[in-house]
Amino acid sequence: MLKPQPSRSFWQRHGQKAAAVLIWLALIGGTVWFARVNGLSLAESVFALIQRMQASAYGPLLYILVYALRPLAFFSAILLTLAGGFLFGPLWGVVFTVIAANTSAMVAYCVGRFLGEGALVNHTTGGLLHNYAGRMRSNSFETVLIMRFIFLPYDLVNYLAGFLRIDWKGFLLATMLGSVPGTISFVLLGAAASPAEIEALFLGGELPTLDVRVLAISVAMFVVSLLLSRYFKRREQRAQPSAQ
């Protein structure tokens, strides 16, 4: 007869996750400590990096790297998107920000997937979280796309998608398509801002003066994103009865 396997303790089952969380918290704490030792806030530290990007030939790579690591420090994606338009202009700002934002999304997705491993395995079917996870897995592309179009908190969607272990290919494709309207809107706003306005934005939280043409394009992109979200939401609702 097979001997029963001894039950593992909490730390044996979740020790790797706990260690990863501790390392994560240590990185955040080290960043905050470094900023305070140098008399800077987190926003001021990022602004100092942006100033360095302006004078460096490796500015785009540094921008993508900072943006990719941004969710680990819970820094605002909107501020860096505006900075991308200011640094690289409307065209390359969109290109570099799309690359950086999708890299950032995958970083947060992988973190959420690692921390959520096994979280739903022992839950009985029919629970609210279990049902929602099943819905996101079966309609991953449409669900994430709607979340992007209606501008739900960017990092929350990334971590949630990873935690619920939805298909990464559908998540990435929906993120790439769904983030474009918002990215273009904020990059255009950043491209129209002056150096003084960008500094005031990071150091004082003051929004840049809006150019009428840029504002019109941004509003148009916002309306397009809402219309697309309604289209995909209705499509998902029509598909649900047939799936049952």
Averaging pLDDT over each range in 14-18, 99-103, 164-168, 189-193, which range is the top one? 99-103
Exposed, middle or buried by CB within 10 Å (0-12, 13-18, 19+), for 59? Answer: middle
pTM above 0.75, yes or no: no
- pLDDT bucket at 104, cuts 50 / 70 / 90: very high
pLDDT level of residue 1 (50, 70, 90 thresholds) = very low
Report the pLDDT value the prediction gives residue 2, as an integer from 0 to 100.
47
Secondary structure in 3-state letters for the chain: CCCCCCCCCHHHHHHHHHHHHHHHHHHHHHHHHHHHHCCCCHHHHHHHHHHHHHCCCCHHHHHHHHHHHHHHHCCCHHHHHHHHHHHHHHHHHHHHHHHHHHHHHHHHHHHHHHHCCCCCCCCCCCCHHHHHHHHHHHCHHHHHHHHHHCCCCHHHHHHHHHHCCCCHHHHHHHHHHHCHHHHHHHHHHHHCCCHHHHHHHHHHCCCCCCCHHHHHHHHHHHHHHHHHHHHHHHHHHHHHHHHC
Between 8 and 88, the higher pLDDT residue: 88
| Mean pLDDT for all residues in the chain | 77
- The rounded Cα 40 to chain-centroid distance in angstroms is 24
pLDDT at residue 16, rounded to an integer: 59
Q: From CA 179, how far away is CA 74, in angstroms rounded?
A: 18
Give the residue with greater pLDDT, 148 vs 119.
148
- How confident is the model at residue 8, as a pLDDT? 58
Confidence at 87, pLDDT banded by 50, 70, 90: very high
Q: Pick 227 or 229 by higher pLDDT.
A: 227
Res 64 pLDDT > 90: yes
Residue 63 binned pLDDT confidence (cut-offs 50, 70, 90):
very high
- Kindly report, residue by residue over 157-210, the tens digit of the pLDDT: 898 888 888 888 888 988 988 888 788 888 888 888 888 888 888 888 777 776
- Distance (Å, whole) CA 106 – CA 2: 43
HEC states along 57-71? Answer: CCHHHHHHHHHHHHH
CA 154, CA 38: separation in Å to the nearest integer?
Answer: 30
Q: How many CA atoms lie within 13 A of 190 on its CB side?
A: 29
pLDDT band at 124 (very low <50, low <70, confident <90, very high): very low
Number of residues that this document lists for the chain: 244
